[in-house]
Structure formats: structure tokens, C-alpha cells
Structure 1
Amino acid sequence: MDTSPWHRGEIALQTRVGSADRMAEIGPRVIRDRLVEQHALFYPLLPFVVLGTVDPGGAPWATLRAGPPGFLQAPDPFHLRVEAASEPDDPAEAGLTDGAAVGLLGIELATRRRNRLNGTVERDDEAGFTLAVEQSFGNCPRYIRPRPSEFLSPPESRPAPAVSDRLDGRARALLAAADTLFVASYAESEGHRQVDVSHRGGPAGFVRVAADGTLTVPDYAGNRFFNTLGNLLAQPRAGIAIPDVATGDLLQITGRTELVLDSPEIATFAGAERLWRLMPERVVFRSAALPLRFGPAAA
């Protein structure tokens, strides 16, 4: 890349922590407009991929798509093929139309490897879709809880999703036990939309849920790219997905966000440098949504 890969939200937070000059230097070197060979060979190893989309109403959604290893293929350095059929019950599906901006995260939990990709959907059939690469880059393995994952044959039928505007007891219980979530966010500049999806991890229960359903998520020390938080500064909306590692259930939430950059509350989250909140506007609980099973996290 010859120009800066950062948008105004990312630059504002980089400037706040004193890393803007450094990020201006390394950004064009580590964020590429193509898949390097290592990444092209990595994606076909995975039994699932995480996607971030934006529905027609502007709500971001995070989701997972699964398949036998090989369902992801890079036919060339500029494209990634996802052989995964449409899922009408998934609220993220509305943002997987031809020409839509999408974020993708390939993550191998057992080895803690992860790579990110932002691009545009090219869809010409219902068997899957292709992503045209705009940005591709690796992420460090910090905060990933290593655990095995396995693709299973999908069930012949699934229960209808439970849709609400608030968290019920089942959703709260899943959040209380979660050590992993995925967050989708986006920013727009001069008519161009950039969608991102990323991983957040911590000790079980690292996400706090208030009585009114507001989620507070700690932001720990990282690479200081501020892809997610920069998006939330520019466009205060996010979608999260929390898989139940034992059952394959999937909780998806979208709503408004708030950044907490300077508050005594930050110190109540061990290791956090800042916080962000999500106020749910739509909650979708999909039983047996994922043909995946995850083993216990390593100590």
C-alpha cells in the first residue's frame, strides 16, 4: 500500500496514546491489499471463519460460518472464496449481498493464529461467495484462549431463532461464562465503507452486564492499530457474536456503543486500558446454529 491504511477514527486514538507517528510508518508495511502466501495457505486449514457485516438499516452484525477444512480457498492473492451456503436465519446474512463491504477474521484457536481481511463481496451463486481483498493483515495471539475446534455435519433442521430487544436469562448466562467474543464494526469515509471484525478474549465473565442489559467490555493492551475502537469512535455501533463452545448455540447482539477512555471504572477491570459499552437494540439467540464443537480451553 502506498497510502495510509488508517481512517480518522483510528488516527484519533493513535494520536491520543502517542503512537500515530509509529503507526503512520508501519501501517503501509503490515496492512496489504493482497494475501501473502502465508495467509493464503492458512485459511484452508480452518473449520470456521468469523464475518462482520452491515445490514440495510446500518446495524453491524458478527457471525460465524463453518465448513470442513478447505471450505476457504484463495484462488489468487486478491480473492478469498468462502464455500458456505446462505443462512436466512442469520441476521448477518442481509449484509452478504453482492458488492457489500465485509470484514473477515480467520482464527485457529488451538494455535492462537489469526489473520484479518476487509473486502467486498462478489456473489454469483448460493453455494458461497468470494471476497475481493482490500486490506489483509495479521494479528498477534494475545488474549486468545487456546482450544481445539471441530466441524460436524450440520443438523437437518434447527429451531427458529429467538429475537428480542433485550437480554433474557439464557443470553445473560452465556455472557457470564464467555471468555471469547467477536465484534463487528465499521466506518465510512467519502462514500466508502470499511467493515472490520475482530476477536476479544479474557477470563470467563470478562464482559460485565448491567441490570439494564448494557455490556461493558475491557480493552487491553494491544497493537495500537485501534481498528475496532477507531471504528466505534467514527461510527458508534457494533455487533457481537458469542458462541456456546459446548452446544454450538450462537448469541448475536447489535446496538449503540460508547467509548470510555478516561474513568475510575477502568481500574476495576484488571489490565484494562480503556472500556467500551454496547447498549443492545436487537438480540438474536440461535440454538444449534454452528456445526462446530470446541474443546476446553488450555490452562
Structure 2
Amino acid sequence: MERQIFYEGLTKFEENFISKRDSFYVATVGENGFPYIQHRGGPKGFLKVLDKNRLGFIDFSGNMQYISLGNLATNNKVALFLVDYPNRKRLKIYVKAEIAELKDNPVLFESLNLVDYKFRPELMMIFYVEA
């Protein structure tokens, strides 16, 4: 019989993998039932591990497309897909997403802040790990 091991939250291996990524994909579902996948990129480590059950990043001004945010207004279930292309490894994480306003969460902003990154922050996105 094969032995299965279950962890609550992220493992150290997963935390390390996440901290080395400079991009990931966010999959949401709209009210119409169709999935939408959006690429998010930034400096290495911009997606931060806050603790073993939470990830977060600062969303910066970009292409002015707010489809993912609109989808999250009606369904906060999200799939994250992180890829290490050179080593042919990937990590898929099911999360629930929450939008956090910059002005309302200065402590969270400081924990997600990127030193010397020159883009204008718009909001913060927090992911609660489900699986």
C-alpha cells in the first residue's frame, strides 16, 4: 500500500520554490463560467510567502486590464500556476483570494514591499492556501 503524506499549508520546499519565481499565472472564473488566466510578473520573489497558509503580492499599475479583479468580485477561488522553466518543474496551488487596499493595511504593505521597484502600487492581493 502506498503511503500518502499530507501537509497543512506550504512545505519548506514549496516556500523556497515560490521565493525564486519572477512570474506566475492566476486562473479565475468569471460569472459566465469561463476560466480566465492572467500572467503576473515582477522581480524574483515578488510573490511573498507570508506564512505557511498565506501568500501575497503588491499589484502594480500595468496594462489596465481588470478581468481577474472583476472575476474575484463574484468568486474568490483561484488556481496559481508557478513554473521553473529551466528545470522543468511546476507548482499548482488552490487558494482563496482577497484584495487588500494599500491605505487600509500599512503593516501588510511593508511586508510585501519591494525595495527599489519603480512602479506605482495599486493594491495588494492575498492568497489563502486551500490545497
Read off the aligned partner of 1:203 and give its amino acid letter.
P
2:127 is matched with 278
Structure 1 residues 163 and 246: alpha-carbon distance in aligned structure 2, compared to 1, 3 A threshold: farther
Alignment of 1:239-258 (within 5 A): 239-258=79-98
1:170 is matched with 13
Larger radius of gyration: 1
2:24 is matched with 181
1:215 is matched with 55
Structure 1 residues 163 and 185: alpha-carbon distance in aligned structure 2, compared to 1, 3 A threshold: farther
Higher relative contact order (CA 8 A, sep 6+): 2
TM-score normalised by the chain length of structure 2 = 0.79
Tell me by how many angstroms 1:165 deviates.
4.5
Structure 1 residues 193 and 251: alpha-carbon distance in aligned structure 2, compared to 1, 3 A threshold: same
Alignment of 1:139-158 (within 5 A): none
Structure 1 residues 164 and 212: alpha-carbon distance in aligned structure 2, compared to 1, 3 A threshold: closer
Tell me by how many angstroms 1:210 deviates.
1.5
1:244–1:250: 8 Å Cα contact kept in structure 2? yes
Read off the aligned partner of 1:274 and give its amino acid letter.
L
Q: CA RMSD in A?
A: 2.0
Read off the aligned partner of 1:280 and give its amino acid letter.
V
2:80–2:95: 8 Å Cα contact kept in structure 1? no
User: What SS does the aligned partner of 1:170 have?
Assistant: helix
Read off the aligned partner of 1:278 and give its amino acid letter.
F
CA distance in structure 2 between the partners assigned to 1:185 and 1:163 by the alignment: 25
User: What SS does the aligned partner of 1:193 have?
Assistant: coil
CA distance in structure 2 between the partners assigned to 1:197 and 1:170 by the alignment: 25
2:75 is matched with 235
Read off the aligned partner of 2:61 and give its amino acid letter.
A
How many residue pairs get aligned? The number is 118
User: What SS does the aligned partner of 1:238 have?
Assistant: strand
TM-score normalised by the chain length of structure 1 = 0.37
2:38 is matched with 198
Aligned residues: percent identity?
A: 24
